[in-house]
Amino acid sequence: MNIRQATESDFESVKRITQETIHAVYPKYYPAGAVRFFSEHHADEKIIRDINAGIVYVVVTDDGVLAGTVTLTDNEVDRLFVLPEFQGKGYGRALLDFAEARISEKYDVIILHASLPAKNIYLKRGFREVDYLKIDTGYGDFLCADVMEKKAK
């Protein structure tokens, strides 16, 4: 397993990781309007903008497959997704370890917005809730998430 900075040539893979994970996992936790909103929130132009800014990273399997991605915006962990077929195999943990270490180099606090499926993972890693978001999706549903933080090491 290797984590590296994403390049423009990784755009389609990062997009696929993001969208496939959202559409496979989020319908189990959120209504359709929230899933649609979340999918649109991670639009192509945002992904390519972040790749060009040098803040997107990918985890690559030993076989050369891009299994997951994370975006680091200042001291915030954003867009952390692992393809469903690679979940439970340590790729998400490796991405979060990487993100926490990288953020800790410059900041005292690590922030993230935790969706319902990921909240318990973050709690187990020492994050705590500091705010609660209830976002009107515009599709008749709400997207709920916790703003969480953790002291950097």
Give residue limits of the domains in the chain. Answer: 2-107
Q: Which two tokens stand for residue 28?
A: 């189990």
What pLDDT score was predicted for residue 125? 95
Q: How far is CA 40 from the centre of its chain?
A: 14
pLDDT at 127 over 90: yes
Share of the chain above pLDDT 70, in %: 100
pLDDT in tens, 37-71: 999 999 999 999 999 999 999 999 999 999 999 99
What pLDDT score was predicted for residue 72? 98
Q: How far is CA 126 from the centre of its chain?
A: 17
Query: CA nearest 19: which of 92, 87, 79?
Result: 79
Annotation: CATH topology of 2-107: Aminopeptidase (3.40.630)
Give residue for tokens 């639009």: 43
Give residue for tokens 């040539």: 9
